[in-house]
Amino acid sequence: MIQSSSELQKKVYRRVADIKQVVASDPYRLHYHLMPPVGLLNDPNGFVFYKGEYHVFYQWNPFETAHGAKFWGHYISDDLVRWEEASIALAPDSWFDKDGCYSGSTIVHEDKMYVFYTGNVKDDEGNRKSYQCLAVSEDGLTFEKKGPVIEVPKGYTAHFRDPKVFYQDKKWYMVLGAQTEAEKGEAVLYSSSDLESWNFRGTLTGSGQHGLGDFGYMWECPDLLEVNGKDILLVCPQGIPARGFEFQNIFQSGYFAGKVNLEKPTFDHGEFVELDRGFDFYAPQTTMDDNGRYLLFGWMGNAEEEDIIQPTIRNEWIHALTIPRELEWKDGALLQRPALELKNLRENEISYSDIILGSQGKSFQVINGLVYELLIEIKEWNAKNLLIQLGSSTSIMFDQTTQVFSFERVNFNGKELEQRHYSLDELHTLQIFKDTSSVEVFVNDGEAVFTSRIFDRGQEIVFKADGRIALNMSKWDIKRITSY
Ligand code: FRU
């Protein structure tokens, strides 16, 4: 790691040096996911392709495994899968961000990185203030803070944050997550011609608007993108009650698809669709690379309520980012697939074709693994259901009779089983990315994803079918890219 001059940054590096061995001793350290060197990680930030390299930053509290005054940690890669840790990009050491350099985004302009983030400030009584701040980098490694460019406008509370900036029709635009004084969540829009002075343009959509009923008291981490001709607003509403199989996590992360008019602004859109059906996914962010491909990273975590019982906190770290995903809009849905580059981490291939899973409840088990990718293609289905057990704590099941796909894990306190469900017509493919303490299940080539942390050292992979299923299967070990 490169040393930095700021006192606060030195304190971080001292802490990393002091407890790195403890963190490294944790059996649940992941092998190919981005993690905090020590402490807590949450949202991916500032994801951008700059001078031939991918940069992803993250919300980081190096001092505790709890939320606090966030830094921006920083990773760089030239292939999207092998990442180098760079020095701290932003530290909460200015009057306008002293209680946290909160989430934000990066754009490239005239060969420089422009970073927009939220400065979080609390006074002695705990009252919050939020500033949207700018920092500029000429080399992609060191960042010069320029200070606030936007203050909270009238009608909104200080829950006003997470700027995502993009360029369209010769203008810069920024979407922000907001809460109105009436405590309704919204995504609001600003525009700018010079990246420094910003004009409030209005609300894109929000709770109680565009056919949405009561839809949350706060919206976080908006991201507006056009995927294969469709306008997509990714956003994380808070305060939506569970409904059937949906909205089971405390906070939601999903998208609206439709048509945006940035001039007015308006956004005609359909229903909110969850991006991930698992337990641990939130605050995703996208970027477009030089091939015009949209990539997404999410935080493999959710609200802090669950944090205190995650086993990794005993070893002074918590949370990770997801693997990178590629986005495609197809047949009315946003598909998410593992980024193709992940294939570069495959080794020790085992393939089977035309496996017949047969008689009732009989299990098939020829493969084992802790860190692997498993690809399953269903060739023929003549069964009631298929169950795949991963280790001793996790299973996935598709029941054709009820058309329900389920994911089950043992909860973080190691006692009860808990499930998530998704309505699925037919099962065609499964692509499973398992790491030492996580699993990401891609169903039907990106139709649905289940992302969850699981804490279990079990290595058996067991298949059971009630009926007759013919399938092809490949399994690869995944190379370790993390240094500890
Ligand atoms: C989402 C979030 C953002 C905020 C950041 C603070 O997880 O609450 O709204 O900017 O985390 O770490």
State what percent of residues in the chain have pLDDT above 70.
97
**Can you name the residues that pair with 174 across neighbouring β-strands?**
165, 190
Q: Are 276 and 451 spatial neighbours (Cβ–Cβ below 8 Å)?
A: yes
Q: Are 385 and 398 spatial neighbours (Cβ–Cβ below 8 Å)?
A: yes
How many Å lie between the centroid of ligand 1 and the Cα of residue 173? 20
39-50 and 317-318 beta bridge pairing: parallel
Nearest atom, ligand 1, residue 221 CA = 9
Mean pLDDT value of segment 419-437: 98
C-alpha distance from residue 187 to each of 235, 269, 281, 372, 454 (Å):
8, 13, 20, 38, 33
Residues with CB under 6 Å of ligand 1 are 42-43, 59, 70, 102-103, 118, 161-162, 220-221, 282-283
Whether residue 386 is predicted with pLDDT greater than 90 in this model: the reply is: yes
pLDDT band, very low/low/confident/very high, at 362 (cuts 50, 70, 90): low
Identify which of 116, 132, 161, 302 to mutate to test ligand 1's pocket (most ligand atoms within 8 A of the CB): 161
Distant-in-sequence contacts of 400-406, Cβ < 8 A, 24+ apart: 400/426, 400/427, 404/245, 405/443, 405/448
Whether residue 361 is predicted with pLDDT greater than 60 in this model: the reply is: no
Identify which of 57, 59, 129 to mutate to test ligand 1's pocket (most ligand atoms within 8 A of the CB): 59
Handedness of CA 101, 233, 216, 187 (dihedral sign): positive
Superfamily (CATH) of domain 5-338: Glycosyl hydrolase domain; family 43 (2.115.10.20)
Mean pLDDT value of segment 74-89: 97
Q: What is the pLDDT of residue 429?
A: 98
User: For residues 90 and 439, what is the distance between their CA atoms, to the nearest angstrom?
Assistant: 31
CATH code for the structural domain at 346-478: 2.60.120.560
Whether residue 371 is predicted with pLDDT greater than 90 in this model: the reply is: yes
Q: What is the pLDDT of residue 150?
A: 98
Residue 247, CB half-sphere, CA atoms under 13 Å: how many? 14
* 149-201 pLDDT, tens digit each: 999 999 999 999 999 999 999 999 999 999 999 999 999 999 999 999 999 99
Q: Mean pLDDT lowest for which of 121-125, 182-186, 316-320?
A: 121-125
Mean pLDDT value of segment 100-111: 98
Mean pLDDT value of segment 452-456: 95
Q: Say which residue, 359 or 186, is predicted with more confidence.
A: 186
Nearest atom, ligand 1, residue 162 CA = 10
How many Å lie between the centroid of ligand 1 and the Cα of residue 425? 35
- Domains in the chain: boundaries: 5-338, 346-478
Q: What is the pLDDT of residue 303?
A: 83
State what percent of residues in the chain have pLDDT above 90.
90
pLDDT band, very low/low/confident/very high, at 211 (cuts 50, 70, 90): confident
Helix H or strand E encompassing 15: helix 7-24
How many Å lie between the centroid of ligand 1 and the Cα of residue 116? 14
Q: Are 347 and 56 spatial neighbours (Cβ–Cβ below 8 Å)?
A: no
Mean pLDDT value of segment 15-39: 98
pLDDT band, very low/low/confident/very high, at 3 (cuts 50, 70, 90): very low
Whether 43 is a known active-site residue: answer yes
| Backbone dihedral angles phi then psi of residue 450, each to the nearest 5 degrees | -120, 115
pLDDT band, very low/low/confident/very high, at 413 (cuts 50, 70, 90): confident
How many Å lie between the centroid of ligand 1 and the Cα of residue 103? 6
Q: What is the pLDDT of residue 189?
A: 98
